[in-house]
């Protein structure tokens, strides 16, 4: 702040009104200057009533106090705490340094507030009406609070730096004639960004935002304006949690800031806030883009509602987080995109995933599945089919790996079998026919029990055939005792020699039958051996 006025009096010729003189003295005393009438209708900052000269102060006087204000009274700390005032003109603090604590409550601003590259300690605007807030590249040492504010022309906090918390709970923000209602690309928040029960009409931009604590958007309603997205936040970094979930008495946090000592309680203790009375889901009408985001603990989309058109997306491309909780209501249209995302734990429920071609997850990797509610293997396989309208092997192999690592080897084989069946549909007719034969006989080798059963059937059939048509000995008098079961078994088992197959002479149909048994034996026995090897490896 520049040098304060040497005397405690305002500059000559400023001609302060009664309301402004009271504000001047309250500033020096560090106390609240309350201009409310006591009538709720007249104290509503969003009403159309007349405020009158007794409740009106000029923005230039406010700026004078904040940038060049008088020295405080002895033993006091100067601060501007203004309640229930109508502030005329444009409040412009751009490029300035504001050292006093600033708090506006239930105030109505006639014109926009400009805070470009302004440096503040702590600023709180609570339940105010502001036509537009321009605060690009502003910085605060402490909090910036805007709870319950109405800003019809939008907020710009591009590249701003917030020293502790950014509180936006219950804000109502529009876009005016712009595309965005809330533009905060590149913002840095040292602790939490709390934006619960926000109503935003126009795109909310948080591209490249860095949040040192957590992001909370309980029960907020985001509606796109003229653009494609309701929330555009690629490359966002959140140190801990990002919650897009339902609000409620237990879910909505109570905030206690660092300055003043008692902070700003939320929800307000007077009971006027709708936050204390109802539970409301997070709603997003329009696309939501969180591509390339990193979330240190978890990304939670719980009981949220996404209203998407056919060309809009809930895009989580290349997101990285230890836990993704995907339990929203199922989008009726649009797409959910998880391509390239990487998570450790996937918490989900079957009712949340899109159907038909509404899910893309090529390259999506996860280590553990934690279903919420019943999620059968058949439903998991259908989940993969939805995500791969055109056959791709990676999603099937990923799911099989996760199931195998969790000890569900039979389910893993079932998934890989389904992969082969999906692959079969892409093959030419001859290869497709061979695939059907493999599936019917040995299930592509993923059901060794089925192969063993077929081997038993072939062995019994061959035994009956050669019991009725025993071949002649190759060397009469030297051949072993004839045994049809041993002979057929020697034909079926590859590698192992039981000393039977080379001792008898076959011709005609018997020779063709023996050849068929040898070929079937190779196919079936190797399938059984592969299944046994997988079982031993798991043990």
Element holding 185 (H helix, E strand): none
Q: How far apart are CA 334 and CA 311, in angstroms?
A: 6
Residues 364, 339: contact at Cβ < 8 Å?
yes
Please tell me the predicted confidence (pLDDT) of residue 149. Answer: 97
The alpha carbon of residue 102 and the mean position of all alpha carbons in its chain are separated, in whole angstroms, by: 35
State both tokens at 147: 């709870």
Q: State the pTM of this model.
A: 0.81
Q: Exposed, middle or buried by CB within 10 Å (0-12, 13-18, 19+), for 116?
A: middle
Please tell me the predicted confidence (pLDDT) of residue 459. Answer: 78
**How confident is the prediction for the chain on average, in pLDDT?**
86
Please tell me the predicted confidence (pLDDT) of residue 256. Answer: 37
- Interhelix angle 409-424/393-405, nearest 10 degrees: 170
Element holding 60 (H helix, E strand): helix 59-68
Q: How do beta strands 101-105 and 123-126 pair?
A: parallel
Confidence of residue 479 (pLDDT cuts 50, 70, 90): low
List the chain domain ranges.
445-537
Confidence of residue 81 (pLDDT cuts 50, 70, 90): very high
Confidence of residue 495 (pLDDT cuts 50, 70, 90): low
Please tell me the predicted confidence (pLDDT) of residue 104. Answer: 97
242-299, pLDDT tens digit by residue? 999 998 654 444 343 343 434 444 445 454 454 444 679 999 999 999 999 999 999 9
The arithmetic mean of pLDDT across residues 425-438, rounded, is 83
Confidence of residue 118 (pLDDT cuts 50, 70, 90): very high
Confidence of residue 88 (pLDDT cuts 50, 70, 90): very high
User: Residue 329 carries which DSSP code?
Assistant: P
Ramachandran category for residue 93: left, alpha or beta (phi over 0 → left; psi -120 to 50 → alpha): alpha
pLDDT(323) > 80: yes
424: Cβ–Cβ under 8 A, 6 or more apart, which residues? 431, 432, 435, 436, 439
14: Cβ–Cβ under 8 A, 6 or more apart, which residues? 61, 64
The arithmetic mean of pLDDT across residues 185-203, rounded, is 96
Ramachandran category for residue 88: left, alpha or beta (phi over 0 → left; psi -120 to 50 → alpha): beta
Please tell me the predicted confidence (pLDDT) of residue 352. Answer: 95
- When mean pLDDT is compared across 174-188, 319-333, 514-528, the lowest value belongs to 514-528
Please tell me the predicted confidence (pLDDT) of residue 201. Answer: 96
Q: How far apart are CA 403 and CA 411, in angstroms?
A: 7
Please tell me the predicted confidence (pLDDT) of residue 30. Answer: 94
The arithmetic mean of pLDDT across residues 442-454, rounded, is 72
Closest CA to 293 of 335, 251, 244: 244
């Amino acid at each position: 702040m520049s040098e304060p006025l040497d005397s405690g009096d305002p500059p000559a010729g400023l001609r302060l009104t009664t309301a402004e003189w009271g504000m001047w003295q309250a500033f020096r005393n560090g106390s609240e200057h309350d201009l409310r009438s006591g009538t709720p209708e007249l104290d509503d900052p969003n009403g159309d009533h007349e405020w009158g000269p007794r409740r009106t102060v000029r923005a230039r006087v406010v700026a004078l106090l904040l940038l060049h204000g008088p020295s405080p009274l002895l033993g006091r700390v100067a601060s501007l705490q203004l309640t229930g005032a109508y502030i005329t003109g444009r409040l412009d603090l751009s490029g300035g340094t504001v050292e006093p604590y600033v708090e506006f409550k239930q105030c109505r601003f006639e014109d926009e507030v400009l805070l470009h590259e302004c440096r503040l300690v702590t600023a709180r605007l609570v339940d105010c009406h502001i036509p537009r807030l321009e605060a690009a590249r502003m910085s605060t040492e402490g909090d910036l609070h805007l709870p319950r504010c109405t800003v019809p022309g939008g907020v710009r906090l591009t590249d701003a730096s917030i020293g502790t918390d950014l509180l936006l709970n219950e804000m109502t923000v529009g876009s005016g004639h712009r595309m965005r209602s809330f533009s905060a690309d590149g913002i840095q928040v040292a602790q939490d960004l709390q934006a619960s029960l926000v109503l935003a009409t126009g795109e909310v931009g948080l591209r490249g935002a860095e949040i040192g604590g957590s992001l909370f958007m309980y029960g907020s309603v985001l509606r796109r304006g003229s653009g494609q997205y309701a929330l555009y936040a690629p490359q966002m970094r959140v140190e801990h949690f990002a919650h897009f979930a339902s609000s409620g008495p237990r879910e909505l946090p109570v905030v206690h800031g660092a300055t003043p000592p008692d902070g700003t309680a939320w929800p307000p203790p007077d009971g006027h806030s709708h936050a204390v009375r109802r539970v409301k889901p997070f709603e997003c009408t329009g696309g939501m883009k969180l591509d390339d985001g990193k979330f240190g603990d978890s990304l939670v989309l719980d009981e949220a509602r996404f209203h998407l058109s056919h060309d809009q997306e809930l895009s989580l491309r290349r997101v990285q987080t230890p836990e993704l909780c995907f339990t929203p209501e199922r989008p009726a249209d649009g797409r959910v995109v998880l391509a390239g995302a990487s998570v450790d734990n996937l918490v989900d429920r079957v009712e949340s995933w899109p159907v038909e071609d509404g899910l893309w997850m090529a390259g999506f990797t996860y280590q553990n599945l934690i279903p919420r509610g019943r999620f059968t293997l058949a439903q998991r396989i259908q989940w993969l089919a939805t995500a791969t309208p055109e056959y791709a092997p990676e999603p099937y192999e990923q799911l099989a790996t996760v199931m195998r690592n969790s000890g569900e080897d039979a389910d893993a084989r079932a998934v890989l079998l389904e992969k082969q069946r999906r692959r079969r549909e892409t093959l030419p007719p001859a290869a497709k026919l061979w695939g059907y034969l493999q599936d019917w006989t040995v299930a592509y080798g993923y059901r060794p029990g089925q192969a063993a059963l077929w081997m038993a059937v072939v062995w019994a059939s061959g035994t009956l055939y050669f019991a009725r048509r025993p071949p002649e000995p190759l060397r009469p008098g030297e051949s072993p005792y004839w045994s049809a079961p041993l002979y057929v078994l020697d034909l079926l088992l590859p590698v192992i020699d039981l000393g039977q197959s080379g001792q008898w002479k076959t011709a005609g149909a018997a020779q063709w039958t023996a050849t068929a048994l040898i070929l079937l034996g190779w196919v079936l026995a190797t399938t059984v051996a592969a299944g046994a090897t997988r079982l031993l490896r798991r043990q």
